[in-house]
């Protein structure tokens, strides 16, 4: 690992039930296995009931705050379109956005009281031109397990972090049930192979 | 090797390493996982859910009176429930060490208020420790137990959402058993708080606090980090982490014991810096303590009394500005995403039946509190655990005919056993004309499905008694007690109507397991289907608020089209509870063939 004081900030956001906590757990363990000091925070409780969920992961030589400062997220990894925009103030001007193309309708939208905003992905791209849009559900379906989308995103994310791929593989093997390891490793590598949202 | 643990895992591990023999708790965010981890990982510790925090503390008191080390865990408002034993435990003292873990929730991520537990430490005249990460959460359990035994006092360990639910690297150790001899030790002058004995114990409490105040001066977790003398920052807990983030080169005094305060240490730190600032969440607790020492200090003029701190807020407080390097917010109105009842939630069915009766509803704390949100909008009161029944009783007695047939109390099963039994007894005893709906979903759902005395299982999943609410209500004197499956919305509505029309108090138990509960499942998990052409677009189903339903607007209506839209079921979310089927008058909702 590098000796500099640089702290990496990854903000993972989405909707309760999408596997955000597992993804951030794996990332935290990966950073720790790479020798970094790690802090990670997430919201539990009421937020789990289909509410907006965020998990902050920070690592470097020494990390104090478990929360990322506004404007300091190096990567905003979002599992849902409008959640990306909700947490945009956290994104650094030099930061990258990885967004799942999923739309999960909030109560005001599925009851017809409000519309789901139009042009969300365009707005994200406008503000963060290097944004990668991932067809998470479609890719996971192709891999034969709709629940591995979060590990696909982790694979995409790995391209932005200076941590050897073997460490991700090791942590995934340790964290997952034996019968799920294979499909998740494939999911991770499919994600890692994605550049600009297209399969390489 | 160090492990990545949450603050709550650290506390559970601390209980293990420092020889805790008994742990008790009632679930409450952000404290819930502490007892869950103890239950899962540490069989050496006798652990179980208590019906409420008062009982949990009393059980722990019994264990420590016998000489054992004990831990009790609760959320901040839990200590209100446990305040009665807490205040006098300070007088009796302990024998084996007792640590009371109380987790505050600044910003109310999942709470009804943001009270500051440090005030209870001062009120009860007991020491209060505050960890700032997971390592300290673990280590301070050891410190708390040592202080508890050395000074014969219960000790509060004040947690907070951002410590309990943050993970950081933690070095683990081996278990060391407590050193006190266990047994039945008669000592009425110390343990029987009759006035004559209590009068002798109060001076002990005051003198003990002075001795702990001296101990605070050398307490290992009160620590100075020398730095730039232009500013000295005093902080504790997660606020210390934010302060270090904002000003790593300043002088810092980190308090691990926030009550009583180490006066000499603070005075010497104050004298060593040009400007003294306290950074703390919620009340100006440390600040006021320092002012009472006659020391000039800045505090709450820089940070808010309400809500939680953040790295940004602390940077602004300390430097007067924030260095923002972000892309900024987006100019687009985003629909809010509040928590919602899950697809198939039995509470949705009960609220739908209540809504048809247009009743005034006094509720309290649980997943059913979400019934307050649109489109259901069916909760008129939520005060604290168990309060709904008492409120409905008071309303109905004062308002008489005005409220007769219109007021209902709703309460969940876990909340009922927590603090609903005594108000139910009051209602039977004094006879207010109201109907109590006990929404029995067979678990403590909001905190993530914990067992309670009505589920038939313990913390560790062992079989045990299952307390019977129906018989309890009958034993209390209720003549009208009915049990109904809430998914039968029309029948439930009819039963509610009948009970509202009866001029005496009554109890309806709507019984169906939580839709997420794997152990007791009655839902068919077969999604329903809406025939688009049959749907009239009346929104009766949509107004149940189920996330598996969507109202699809018709943007370009064909000639003769009267509908503004139609309902659609998301078959990947629908679990087939049939609540929507029950409210559809047009037969548009069908089973998949």
Q: Tell me: the pLDDT tens digits for B483-539?
A: 999 999 999 999 999 999 999 999 999 999 999 998 889 999 999 999 999 999 999
Residue B446 is encoded by which pair of tokens?
């909001």
Q: Cβ distance B76 to B196 under 8 Å? A: no
Q: With H, G, I as helix, E, B as strand and everything else as coil, classify residue B313.
A: helix
Bridge partners of residue B591, in order along the sequence: B528
Interface size A-B, in CB pairs within 8 Å, comes to 190
Q: Residue B22: how many CA atoms within 13 Å on its side-chain side?
A: 22
> What confidence tens digit (pLDDT) does each residue in B48-104 have?
999 999 999 999 999 999 999 999 999 999 999 999 999 999 999 999 999 999 999
Q: Residue B102: left (phi > 0), alpha (psi -120 to 50), or beta?
A: beta
Under an 8 A CB cutoff, do B327 and A111 touch?
Answer: no
Question: Using CA atoms, how far apart are residues A127 and A130, in angstroms rounded to an integer?
Answer: 9
Using CB atoms within 10 A of its CB, is residue A106 exposed (0-12), middle (13-18) or buried (19+)?
A: buried
Helices (H) and strands (E) in chain B, counts: 21, 23
Determine the Cα–Cα distance for residues B226 and B214; give it in Å rounded to an integer.
Answer: 22
Determine contact: A178 vs chain B, CB below 8 A.
no
- Name the minimum distance, in Å, from the CA of B132 to any CA of chain A: 10
Sorted by sequence, the CB contacts under 8 Å of residue B462 that are 6+ apart come out as: none
What is the C-alpha to C-alpha distance for residues A194 and A184, in angstroms, rounded to an integer?
16
| C-alpha to C-alpha distance for B483 and B493, rounded to whole angstroms | 13
Whether the model clears a pTM of 0.90, i.e. scores above it, the answer is yes
pLDDT tens per residue across span B406-442: 999 999 999 999 999 999 999 999 998 999 999 999 9
Decide if A101 contacts A135 (C-beta within 8 A): yes
Percent of the residues in chain B that have a pLDDT greater than 90, as a whole number: 97
Among A26, A40, A89, A112, pick the best mutation site for testing chain B contact (most B Cβ within 10 A).
A112
Whether A32 sits inside 8 A of B169 (CB atoms) is yes
Q: Distance between CA atoms of B321 and B312, rounded to whole angstroms? A: 9
What proportions of chain A, in percent to the nearest 5, are helix, strand and coil? 45, 25, 35
Residue of A nearest to B339 (CA): A51
Q: Which residue of B has its CA nearest to A59?
A: B168
3-state SS assignment for residue B349: helix
Give me the residues of A, 75-94, that contact B with CB < 8 A: 82-83, 85-86, 88-94
Q: Are B129 and B158 in contact (CB under 8 A)?
A: yes
Mean pLDDT of B304-323: 95
Whether residues A37 and B169 touch (CB distance < 8 A) is answered with yes
Mind spelling out the 3-state secondary structure of B153-165? CCEEEEEEHHHHC
The model's confidence at residue A200, banded by pLDDT at 50, 70 and 90, is very low
Contact B335 A41 (CB under 8 A): no
- Cβ–Cβ under 8 Å, residues A67 and B162: yes
**Is A52 in the B-facing interface, judged by CB distances under 8 Å?**
yes
- CA B236 – CA A148 distance, rounded (Å): 40
Residues 6+ apart with CB under 8 A from B268: none
Whole-angstrom Cα distance, residue B143 to residue B295? 29
Which residues, in sequence order, are CB contacts of A53 under 8 Å at separation 6+? A13, A14, A15, A16, A18, A20, A21, A42, A43, A47
β-pair type (B98-104, B69-75): parallel
Q: Give the mutation candidate from A13, A38, A111, A122 for the B interface (greatest B CB count, under 10 A).
A: A111
| Token pair recorded at residue B167 | 């993970």
Please answer whether residues B547 and B342 qualify as being in contact, where contact means their C-beta atoms are separated by less than 8 angstroms. yes
- Confidence check: pLDDT of A47 > 70: no
pLDDT band per the 50, 70, 90 thresholds, residue B357: confident
Confidence grade of residue A46 (pLDDT, cut at 50, 70, 90): low
Q: Would you place residue A196 in the very low, low, confident or very high pLDDT band (cuts 50, 70, 90)? A: low
Using a 10 angstrom Cβ sphere, with 0-12 exposed, 13-18 middle and 19 or more buried, the burial of residue B128 is buried
Whether the predicted pLDDT of A44 surpasses 80: no
CB A132 within 8 A of CB A197: yes
Average pLDDT over residues B188-206: 98
Cβ-in-10-Å burial (0-12, 13-18, 19+) of A186 comes to middle
The residue written with tokens 């791929």 in the block is A165
ipTM: 0.95
Give, for A25, the enclosing helix (H) or strand (E). helix A20-33
Mean pLDDT of A149-170: 97
Sign of the Cα pseudo-torsion (B466, B472, B473, B479, in order): positive
Per-residue model confidence (pLDDT) at position A50: 82
Query: Residue A43: pLDDT band by 50, 70, 90 thresholds?
Result: confident
Contacts 24+ apart (CB under 8 A), A129-133: A130/A96, A130/A97, A131/A96, A131/A97, A131/A98, A131/A99, A132/A96, A132/A97, A132/A98, A132/A99, A132/A156, A132/A194, A132/A195, A132/A196, A132/A197, A133/A99, A133/A100, A133/A101, A133/A197
Taking alpha carbons only, the member of A183, A187, A184, A121 closest to residue A156 is: A187
Start-to-end Cα distance in chain B: 56
- Counting Cα atoms < 13 Å in the Cβ hemisphere of A151 gives 26
The helix/strand/coil state of A71 is coil
B525: alpha, beta or left, given left = phi > 0 and alpha = psi -120 to 50? left
Q: Is the four-CA dihedral B515, B516, B519, B524 of positive or negative sign?
A: positive
Q: Kindly list the residues from chain A whose CB atom is less than 8 angstroms away from the CB atom of residue B325.
A: 71-72, 92-94
Dist CA A60 CA B128 (whole Å): 32
**CA distances to A108, B310, B352, B545, B581 from B563, in Å:** 19, 49, 23, 20, 19
DSSP for B225-285, written as a single string: E--EEEEEEEE-HHHHHHHHHH-TTEEEEE-SEEES--HHHHHHHHHHSSSEEEE-SSS-H
- Among B8, B77, B167, B243, the strongest candidate for a mutation testing the A interface, having the largest count of A CBs within 10 A, is B167
pLDDT beyond 80 at A199: no
Q: Hey, is B47 helix, strand or coil?
A: strand
Query: Could you identify the residue written with the tokens 């008191």?
Result: B61
Is-contact A57 A38, C-beta < 8 A? yes
Q: Are B280 and B308 spatial neighbours (Cβ–Cβ below 8 Å)?
A: no
pLDDT digits (tens, 9 = 90+) for B464-475: 999 999 999 999
| Mean model confidence pLDDT for chain B | 97
B313 Cα distance to chain centroid: 26
Q: Do B337 and A83 touch (CB under 8 A)?
A: yes
Which of B95, B96, B55 lies closest to B72 in space, CA to CA? B55
Contacts of B557 (CB under 8 A, 6+ apart): B563
Under 8 Å between Cβ of B119 and B113: no
Per-residue pLDDT at A48: 62
* Residue (of B470, B347, B340, B486) closest to B416 by Cα position: B470
- The pLDDT tens digits for B245-284 are 999 999 999 999 999 999 999 999 999 999 999 999 999 9
A37 touches chain B (CB under 8 A): yes
């Amino acid at each position: 690992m590098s000796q500099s004081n640089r702290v990496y900030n990854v903000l993972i956001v989405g909707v309760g039930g999408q596997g955000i906590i597992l993804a951030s757990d794996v990332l935290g363990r990966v950073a720790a296995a790479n020798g970094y000091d790690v802090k990670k925070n997430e919201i539990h409780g009421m937020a789990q009931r289909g509410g907006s969920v965020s998990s902050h992961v920070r690592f470097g030589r020494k990390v104090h705050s478990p929360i990322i400062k506004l404007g300091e997220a190096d990567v905003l990894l979002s599992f849902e379109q409008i959640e990306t925009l909700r947490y945009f103030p956290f994104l650094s001007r030099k930061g990258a956005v990885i967004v799942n193309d999923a739309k999960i309708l909030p109560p005001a939208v599925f009851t017809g009281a409000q519309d789901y905003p139009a042009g969300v992905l365009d707005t994200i791209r406008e503000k963060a031109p290097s944004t990668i849009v991932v067809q998470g559900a479609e890719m996971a379906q192709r891999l034969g397990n709709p629940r591995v989308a979060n590990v696909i995103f982790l694979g995409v994310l790995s391209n932005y972090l200076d941590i050897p791929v073997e460490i991700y593989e090791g942590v995934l093997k340790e964290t997952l049930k034996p019968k799920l390891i294979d499909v998740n490793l494939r999911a991770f590598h499919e994600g890692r192979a994605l550049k600009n949202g297209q399969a390489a | 090797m160090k492990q990545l643990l949450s603050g709550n895992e650290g506390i559970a591990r601390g209980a293990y390493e420092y020889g805790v023999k008994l742990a008790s708790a009632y679930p409450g965010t952000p404290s819930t996982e502490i007892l869950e981890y103890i239950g899962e990982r540490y069989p050496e510790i006798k652990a179980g859910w208590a019906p409420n925090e008062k009982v949990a503390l009393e059980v722990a008191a019994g264990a420590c009176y016998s000489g054992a080390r004990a831990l009790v865990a609760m959320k901040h408002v839990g200590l209100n429930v446990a305040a009665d034993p807490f205040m006098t435990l300070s007088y009796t003292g302990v024998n084996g060490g007792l640590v009371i873990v109380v987790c505050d929730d600044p910003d109310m991520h999942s709470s009804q208020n943001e009270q500051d537990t440090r005030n209870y430490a001062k009120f009860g005249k007991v020491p209060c420790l505050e960890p700032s990460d997971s390592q300290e959460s673990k280590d301070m359990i050891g410190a708390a137990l040592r202080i508890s035994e050395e000074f014969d006092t219960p000790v509060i360990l004040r947690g907070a959402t951002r410590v309990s639910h943050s993970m950081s690297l933690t070095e683990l150790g081996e278990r060391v058993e407590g050193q006190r001899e266990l047994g039945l030790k008669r000592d009425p002058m110390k343990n029987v708080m009759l006035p004559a004995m209590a009068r002798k114990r109060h001076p002990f409490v005051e003198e003990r606090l002075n001795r702990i105040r001296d101990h605070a001066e050398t307490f290992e977790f009160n620590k100075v980090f020398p730095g730039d003398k232009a500013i000295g920052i005093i902080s504790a807990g997660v606020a210390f982490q934010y302060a270090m983030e904002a000003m790593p080169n300043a002088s810092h005094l980190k308090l691990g014991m926030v009550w009583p305060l180490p006066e000499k240490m603070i005075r010497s730190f104050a004298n060593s810096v040009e400007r003294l600032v306290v950074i703390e969440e919620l009340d100006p607790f440390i600040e006021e303590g320092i002012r009472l020492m006659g020391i000039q200090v800045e505090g709450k003029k820089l940070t808010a009394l309400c809500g939680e701190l953040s790295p940004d807020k602390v940077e602004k407080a300390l430097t007067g500005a924030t260095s923002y390097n972000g892309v900024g917010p987006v100019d687009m109105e985003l629909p809010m995403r509040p928590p919602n009842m899950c697809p198939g939630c039995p509470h949705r069915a009960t609220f739908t039946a209540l809504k048809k009766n247009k009743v005034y509803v006094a509720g309290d704390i649980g997943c059913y509190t979400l019934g307050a949100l649109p489109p259901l909008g069916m909760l008129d009161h939520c005060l604290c655990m168990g309060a709904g029944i008492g409120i409905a009783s008071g309303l109905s007695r004062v308002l008489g005919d005005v409220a007769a047939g219109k007021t209902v109390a709703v309460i969940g099963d876990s909340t009922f056993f927590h603090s609903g039994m005594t108000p139910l007894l009051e209602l039977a005893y004094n006879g207010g004309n109201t109907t109590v709906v006990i929404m029995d979903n067979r678990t403590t759902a909001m905190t993530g499905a914990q067992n309670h005395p009505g589920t038939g299982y313990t913390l560790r999943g062992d079989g045990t008694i299952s307390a019977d609410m129906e018989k309890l209500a009958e034993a209390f004197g209720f003549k009208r007690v009915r049990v109904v499956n809430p998914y039968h919305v029309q029948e439930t509505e009819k039963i509610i109507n009948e009970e509202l029309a009866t001029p005496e108090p009554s109890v309806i138990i709507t019984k169906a397991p939580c839709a997420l509960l794997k152990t007791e499942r009655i839902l068919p998990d077969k999604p329903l289907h809406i025939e688009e052409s049959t749907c009239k677009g009346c929104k009766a189903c949509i107004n149940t608020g189920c996330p598996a339903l969507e109202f699809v607007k018709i943007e370009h209506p064909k000639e003769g089209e009267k509908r503004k839209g139609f309902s659609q079921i998301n078959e990947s979310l629908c679990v087939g509870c049939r609540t929507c089927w029950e409210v559809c008058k047009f037969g548009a909702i069908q089973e998949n063939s």
